[in-house]
């Protein structure tokens, strides 16, 4: 069960449920009700104002406190009562215990001083530090961060049909392919889906943009972005995107236009493994990972309403076969989400993946959910969306 500020994750080693809490109001409710605290995970909370309440509790075995702000006497009491306390890590470029997705403004904070000064760039350099790569604490912190990202991503997408859109990072903003990918993102949202991408530039940015700009002037946004067609100059690339996002937000606030229902329509799942690829800003939330392997798994696992693959190269091909593997071994007892490749010539001649996919699908349950189409107009129907 998932709801804002709390996550129940099943039984703990102490017999009770494991409950992640990252909202002080929920913690206050638990403390006031007298509920047992064993098995709770207090994630990124400022507990300085709740020290006296917690100091009076002895049922703290199995409690884990992940980061946050704690007075020293509370830390001592928690440990004495059997809790585990993970300390703040002031030298880390990002909070390894954060409980929510990133907002683009967080990752690009300080961009006016140059991209290298932003948390996003500093996190990448943190992954490349040869000394830190052998530090067991840093390895553990990165793993904790990525697990927290997975929790936050699950919470953001819970209950919504989600379509993963894959495609090359080299698609430039001034190209017809970029505009086409943007219109695909918009159409998927209009059909009721959340658009999930790898969160980077190129086709990924375009699909996120289209989803984010539904109800607004997409053509104007495309025209403005085309002034900086690629990310060779990340400062300029990200700056114009943040300006366009701000204009879209202002226009949305002034009008009643847009898609009704859930607020989250566009989510990016990038990785610091690809340090040369900055995250795009046209997402309601960004789940950024240190581990590319975990990131790839999460991206595909959450594409519950299907996967759409736009023209791409090596990275996109990897994602295709990563998506195909579980489909290949599926028993056919449950529906399999569609896998739609867009661009007949690209996938049959330029990068001839399609013939191999057909060979793998022959006689398999997923053969009926595998599609090759020429344009974005055919995608929604292939996915079974309205």
In a domain, 97, yes or no: no
Angle of CA points 97, 101, 102, to nearest 5°: 95
Helix axes 203-212 and 176-190, enclosed angle (nearest 10): 40
In a domain, 251, yes or no: yes
In a domain, 106, yes or no: no
* In contact, 141 and 92? CB cutoff 8 Å: yes
Q: Is 179 found in the same domain as 78?
A: no
CA distances from 10 to 7, 29, 152 (A): 10, 20, 17
Q: Tell me what pLDDT residue 12 has.
A: 47
- Rounded Cα distance between 108 and 280, Å, is 10
Q: Is 168 found in the same domain as 68?
A: no
Burial of 360 (0-12, 13-18, 19+ CB in 10 A): middle
Residue after which a domain boundary falls, among 37, 69, 86: 86
Per-residue pLDDT of the chain (386 residues; tens, 9 = 90+): 333 454 555 554 444 568 889 889 988 888 888 888 888 999 989 999 989 889 989 999 999 999 999 999 999 999 999 999 998 888 899 999 998 999 999 999 999 999 999 999 999 999 888 677 778 888 889 999 999 999 999 999 988 999 999 999 999 999 999 999 999 999 999 999 999 999 999 999 999 999 999 999 999 999 999 999 999 999 999 999 999 999 999 988 877 555 444 468 999 999 999 998 999 999 999 999 999 999 999 999 999 999 999 999 998 999 999 999 999 998 776 778 999 999 999 999 999 999 999 999 999 989 999 999 999 999 999 999 86
In this structure, what token pair is assigned to residue 324? 């195909």
Residue after which a domain boundary falls, among 71, 86, 101: 86
Q: Tell me what pLDDT residue 16 has.
A: 55
CA-CA-CA-CA torsion sign (34, 38, 40, 41): positive
Domain encompassing residue 20: 2-86
In a domain, 93, yes or no: no
Q: Is 299 found in the same domain as 201?
A: yes
Residue after which a domain boundary falls, among 86, 110, 137: 86
- Rounded Cα distance between 153 and 158, Å, is 8
Q: Is 289 found in the same domain as 208?
A: yes
Cite the DSSP H helix spans in the chain: 24-33, 51-55, 72-80, 104-107, 119-128, 136-157, 176-190, 203-212, 218-225, 234-254, 292-301, 314-328, 344-345, 354-361, 379-383
In a domain, 122, yes or no: no
In a domain, 344, yes or no: yes
Q: Is 177 found in the same domain as 78?
A: no
* In contact, 62 and 38? CB cutoff 8 Å: yes
- Rounded Cα distance between 29 and 113, Å, is 43
| Secondary structure class of 245 (helix, strand, coil) | helix
Number of structural domains the chain divides into: 2
* In contact, 204 and 197? CB cutoff 8 Å: yes
Assign residue 322 the CATH number of its domain: 3.40.50.450
Q: Tell me what pLDDT residue 3 has.
A: 37
Q: Is 350 found in the same domain as 215?
A: yes
Q: Is 354 found in the same domain as 282?
A: yes
In a domain, 221, yes or no: yes
Q: Is 358 found in the same domain as 214?
A: yes
In a domain, 54, yes or no: yes
């Amino acid at each position: 069960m998932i709801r804002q500020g709390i996550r129940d994750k099943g039984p703990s080693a102490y017999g009770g449920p494991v409950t992640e809490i990252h909202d002080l109001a929920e913690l206050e409710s638990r403390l006031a009700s007298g509920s047992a605290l064993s098995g709770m995970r207090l994630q990124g909370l400022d507990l300085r104002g709740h020290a006296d309440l917690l100091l009076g509790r002895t049922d703290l075995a199995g409690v884990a406190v992940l980061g946050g702000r704690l007075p020293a006497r509370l830390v001592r009491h928690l440990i004495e009562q059997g809790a585990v306390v993970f300390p703040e890590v002031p030298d880390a470029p990002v909070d390894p215990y954060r409980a929510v997705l990133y907002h683009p403004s967080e990752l690009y904070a300080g961009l006016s001083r140059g991209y290298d000064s932003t948390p996003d760039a500093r996190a990448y350099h943190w992954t490349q530090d040869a000394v830190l790569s052998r530090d067991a604490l840093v390895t553990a912190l990165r793993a904790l961060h990525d697990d927290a990202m997975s929790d936050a991503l699950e919470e953001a997408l819970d209950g919504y049909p989600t379509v993963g859109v894959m495609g090359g990072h080299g698609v430039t903003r001034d190209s017809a392919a970029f505009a086409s990918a943007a219109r695909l993102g918009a159409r998927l949202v209009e059909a009721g889906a959340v658009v999930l991408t790898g969160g980077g530039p190129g086709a990924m940015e375009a699909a996120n943009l289209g989803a984010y700009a539904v109800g607004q002037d997409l053509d104007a946004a495309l025209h403005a972005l085309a002034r900086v067609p690629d990310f060779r100059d990340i400062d300029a690339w990200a700056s114009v995107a943040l300006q366009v996002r701000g204009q879209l937000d202002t226009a949305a606030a002034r009008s009643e236009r847009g898609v009704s229902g859930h607020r989250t329509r566009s989510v990016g799942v990038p990785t610091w493994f690809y340090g040369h690829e900055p995250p795009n800003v046209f997402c309601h939330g960004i789940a950024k990972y240190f581990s590319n392997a975990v990131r790839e798994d999460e991206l595909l696992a959450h594409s519950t309403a299907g996967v759409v693959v736009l023209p791409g190269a090596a990275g996109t091909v990897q994602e295709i076969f990563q998506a195909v593997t579980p489909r290949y071994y599926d028993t056919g007892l449950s529906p399999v989400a569609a896998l739609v490749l867009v661009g007949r010539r690209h996938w049959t001649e330029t990068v001839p993946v399609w013939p191999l996919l057909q060979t793998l699908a022959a006689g398999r349950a997923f053969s009926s959910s595998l599609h090759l189409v020429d344009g974005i107009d055919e995608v929604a129907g292939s996915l079974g969306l309205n």
